[in-house]
Amino acid sequence: MNQKMKVLFITQHFPPEKSANAFRISELAYNLNELDVKPIIFAPHPSFPTRTFERNWKILKLKNSGGIKLFNIWSWQSTSKDPGFVSRMFYYLIFPLHASILTILYFNKFDLIITSNPPIFTAITGLFSKVILNKKWIIDSRDSWIDASIALGFLKEGSLPEKISRKFEKICYSRTDMILATTKELSKNIVNLYQTNKKIVLIPNGADTDFFYPCSVKKKNHILFLGNIGHAQDLKKYILAMKFIVKKHDIKLLIVGDGDTKENLEKFTLSHNLGNIVIFKGLIPRKNVPKVISESLIGIAPMKKLKTLNYMAPVKTYEYMACGVPFVASGIGEVVNLARESGGGIITDDTPEEIAKTINGLLDDHQKLIEMGKAGREYVKQHYDRKNIAFELKKCIEQLS
C-alpha cells in the first residue's frame, strides 16, 4: 500500500478494561499500526467489569493509546454487579448509535470499518457505514452470541427478541464485505445458521508470545484460573473438585479475575468450607499476569459442556501455553481440538470427581507437566502469536482496499 490504510474498529471493550475482547482488539490494533495500517478505535468509556470504574458522563473523550487514536464514547454504565436485561441492552445499544453519529463527523478519517461482536449491536455502526457512508465493512465474529445467550438463560428460544436478533444478524452477514471468525467451529456455525456466501477468514485469538513467556520464577503449589468469571464458566465443579485434590496434594486453587458471577462463587466456596483452599485474588495488573501464570502448576479453562458453546477456545488457554503451563479444560468442540493438536492441554469430564482425577494424574507426573508445557509453548509460538495473526488481518484489509 502506498499510504497507510485507515481502519476504524468498533468494539464494546478496550483497555484499561481487562477482557479477552479488549486485549484482542488492542493487540491487533497495536500490531497493525506497525504494519502500515492506521487503526482508530471507537469504544465506550471503560465500565467492564461493572463497578470497577467510576461512571463517566462525557459524551466523547479522545486520547492517544500507544500511538493509536482512541475515542471513548458515552454509553449507559450499570452500577449493578450482575446487570439485568434492560440495563445490558441500554449499554449495548446506546454505544453503537452514538458511534454511528460519530462516523459521519469523521467520514474522511477512515477507509474501512471493522465491527467486533459480540455484542451483535456493534454491527449497527458497521451497517450504517456500509449502507449510508459506502465504506468497506468487516465483521469480526468472536462468538455465537445469540446461541450462547439462549444456552445461558439470558434469551428465550423462539421469543421475539431472538427472532429480531437473528434477522438483524442475517442482514449484517449478507451486507458485510468479509467475515472474520476466531475458530473453525464458529465459521461452520455462521454458514449453517445464516447461509452467507461472504468470505470467512480465520483470524483466531492467541497470545503475544513476547509478553507471555515462561518467567524464571519458582513454582508455587497452586492451580490457576485466569480471566472473566462469567456465566459460561463452569467453575463450581472445579471448586468442588478441590475437596478431592487436597486429599492427595497440598495445593490451592487461585482464581484471578472478576465478572458477573464472582460474588456468588465466593459465597458458594464459603458454603462448602473451601475458603482456605480456593483463593479469589480479583483483578491484577496486566504486567503481572505472565509471572502469575508461570508460577502455577496447571491452568484451568472450565467451559460449560453445551453444544451451543462448541466454538469456544478460551483465550486463557493460549496464554497458559505461551507461559509453558499445561491446561485442563472441560467443554466440547474447539477446545478439545486445541488440547489434542497442541499437546499442551487435557480435556476432562465435567464432574468434580473426574476433574480431580485428571488434575491429580497430572500433579503425580512432574515430567508430563514439563513436556506438556514445552509442547504448548512451541505450538502457540508457531500458530497463535498475535503478531502473525495481525499480519493475516492486514492481508484481509489489503484485499478490500
Mapped onto helix, strand or coil, the DSSP state of residue 225 is strand
Whole-angstrom Cα Rg for the chain = 21
Contact 21, 52 (CB under 8 A): no
pLDDT per position as a tens digit, 203-262: 999 999 999 999 999 999 999 999 999 888 899 999 999 999 999 999 999 999 998 899
Considering the chain, what is the average pLDDT of its residues?
94
- Report the length, in residues, of the chain: 401
pLDDT for the residue 260? 85
Q: Residue 291, SS3? A: helix
The pLDDT > 90 percentage for the chain reads 80
Q: Which three cell numbers stand for residue 22?
A: 479488549
Choose among 361, 332, 326: nearest CA to 344: 326
DSSP label at residue 80: S
Distance of CA 221 to the CA centre of its chain: 27
Strand order in the sheet with 68-73: 60-65, 68-73, 37-44, 5-10, 112-117, 136-141, 178-181, 200-202
User: To the nearest whole percent, how much of the chain has pLDDT over 70?
Assistant: 100
Q: Could you give the CA distance from residue 9 to residue 3 in angstroms, rounded to a whole number?
A: 19
- Range 108-124 average pLDDT: 95
Domains and CATH numbers, the chain: 5-206+385-400 (3.40.50.2000), 222-383 (3.40.50.2000)
Classify residue 298 by burial, with Cβ atoms within 10 Å: 0-12, 13-18, 19+.
buried
Residue 111 pLDDT > 70, yes or no?
A: yes
Q: Which residues contact 105 (CB under 8 A, 6 or more apart)?
A: none
Report which secondary-structure segment, H or E, holds 223. strand 222-226
CB 332 within 8 A of CB 305: yes
At residue 2, the pLDDT reads 55
C-beta atoms surrounding 71 within 10 Å: 18
| pLDDT value at residue 238 | 97
Q: How far apart are CA 316 and CA 319, in angstroms?
A: 5
State the Cα–Cα distance between residues 387 and 35, nearest whole angstrom. Answer: 10
- Per-residue pLDDT tens for 153-185? 888 889 998 999 999 999 999 999 999 999 998
CB atoms within 10 A of CB 113: 28
Question: pLDDT per residue over 280-311, tens digit each?
Answer: 999 999 999 999 999 999 999 998 887 777 78
d(CA 218, CA 138): 44
Residue 336 DSSP label = H
Q: Which residues contact 9 (CB under 8 A, 6 or more apart)?
A: 25, 28, 29, 39, 40, 41, 42, 113, 114, 115, 116
Query: At 1, is the pLDDT very low, low, confident or very high (cuts 50, 70, 90)?
Result: very low
257: number of Cβ within 10 Å:
21
**What mean pLDDT comes out for the span 53-60?**
93
Q: What is the pLDDT of residue 145?
A: 84
How does pLDDT run across 138-156, given as a tens digit for each residue? 999 998 888 888 878 888 8
* CA triple 307-312-317, angle to 5 deg: 135
pLDDT > 50? residue 107: yes
Q: How does DSSP assign 230-270, residue by residue? A: -TTB-HHHHHHHHHHHTTT---EEEEE---TTHHHHHHHHH
Q: Looking at 4-18, 38-52, 53-67, 79-93, which range is the least confident one? A: 79-93
Q: What pairs with residue 280 in β-bridges?
A: 255
| pLDDT tens-digit series, residues 353-388 | 999 999 999 999 999 999 999 999 999 999 999 999
